[in-house]
Amino acid sequence: MESIDLAYKDLAGQVLEYGQMRDTRNGKTISLFGTTLSFNMAHIGLPLLSLRKIYFNGVVGEFRGFLRDATTVQEFKDLGCNYWDLWADKDGNLTLDYPPREQLSAVVESIIKDPNGRRHMINLWNHKHLPSLSLPCCHFNYQFYVRDEYLDMVWTQRSVDVAVGLPSDFILAALYLIYIGEQTNLKPGRVVMNFGDTHIYEEHIKDMEMMLQRTPSYSYIDYQWENEELVPLNYKFHDPIKFELKG
């Protein structure tokens, strides 16, 4: 059976084995450029990492904040997402490009009108906005593809923190497929994730190596809606590991 854990272990192992140490704006990293990873929700369900506990509700809250064009840390916190403080100004304000609502609506309309089209695209990289953004979009391009009754996606990301950010990115990708699929009567399918700077911070390496020795779960993680909340079922996981979030 496919496993998001095995895909993750393979990618992290590549970074640790072949990456180079680099001094960056917020610390030393071991970095590998130009990597890829894929998973199929039809086979694994929700892509929740079992190697450590992933706090699913925080990522769902972040996605809901994106959909509502949240502009403050407090808006994210009210939705259950508690990790945007690092990028806010002193008053808790945020300027983000995640994701323009009109592009989401346009993709849904495009898929419905022309399922076999090659223009089902969302692109968030706007050079004119970069100087004013709290954080330039890490994942910035999503292309969708209708395959029979399934919706697939290619996800492109300029930078990925393997220890902290990547497990959340799996969930965000799944949420895109669930959200758009529900409006187009399609099931979540395959996700191909392409990464630029794929890195592990120096202070995360020891715990990452320990985590990669854990035995992954191979269970299909189903989900259901409860009171308008997406709830994962039968999620089995190892103990949490606290990786420091780098701003």
- Burial degree of 2 (CB within 10 A; 0-12, 13-18, 19+): middle
> In the chain, what are the domain boundaries?
4-55+100-217
Task: Give the pLDDT confidence of 99-122 residue by residue, as tens digits.
Answer: 667 899 999 999 999 999 999 999
- Grade residue 230 by pLDDT with cuts at 50, 70 and 90: confident
Catalytic residue list contains 137: no
Q: What angle do CA 60, 34, 168 make, to 5 degrees?
A: 10
Residue located via tokens 């191909």 = 192
CA distances from 216 to 50, 112, 142, 204, 207 (A): 6, 38, 28, 20, 16
Stretch 174-179: mean pLDDT: 96
Q: Which of 8, 2, 43 is nearest to 152 (CA)?
A: 43
Q: Give residue 76's pLDDT.
A: 93
Q: Give residue 1's pLDDT.
A: 63
Using the predicted structure, report yes or no on whether residue 232 has a pLDDT greater than 90: yes
Q: Give residue 235's pLDDT.
A: 94
- Grade residue 35 by pLDDT with cuts at 50, 70 and 90: very high
Percent of the chain with pLDDT over 90: 85
Q: Give residue 246's pLDDT.
A: 86
Q: Give residue 227's pLDDT.
A: 76
User: Which pTM does this prediction carry?
Assistant: 0.94
**Residue 192: strand pairing partners:** 38, 154
Catalytic residue among 133, 138, 205, 212: 138
Other beta carbons less than 10 A from residue 36's beta carbon: 13
Stretch 127-140: mean pLDDT: 91
Q: Give residue 225's pLDDT.
A: 86
Q: Give residue 217's pLDDT.
A: 86
Tell the CATH superfamily of the 4-55+100-217 domain.
Answer: Thymidylate synthase/dCMP hydroxymethylase domain (3.30.572.10)
- Grade residue 134 by pLDDT with cuts at 50, 70 and 90: very high
